[in-house]
Amino acid sequence: MRPHDKNPSRRALLAGIGLGLASTSTHAGEADEFIERAFAMRQRALDAGDRGYGAIVVKAGSVVAEAPSRVITRGDPTAHAEMEAIRDAARVLGRDLSGAVLYSSSPPCPMCEAAAYWAGIDRLHHGRPGTDGGPPRLCG
Indicate which residues carry an active-site annotation. Answer: 82
* Cα–Cα distance measured from residue 78 to residue 95, given in angstroms and rounded to the nearest whole number: 18
Beta-carbon contacts of residue 19 (< 8 Å; ≥ 6 apart): none
Q: List the beta bridge partners of residue 103.
A: 56, 125
Q: Where would I find the beta strands (DSSP E) of 3-128?
A: 54-59, 62-68, 100-104, 123-126
Give, rounded to a whole angstrom, the gap between the first and last alpha carbons of the chain: 15
Beta-carbon contacts of residue 85 (< 8 Å; ≥ 6 apart): 41, 55, 56, 57, 65, 66, 67, 102, 104
* Cα–Cα distance measured from residue 16 to residue 37, given in angstroms and rounded to the nearest whole number: 31
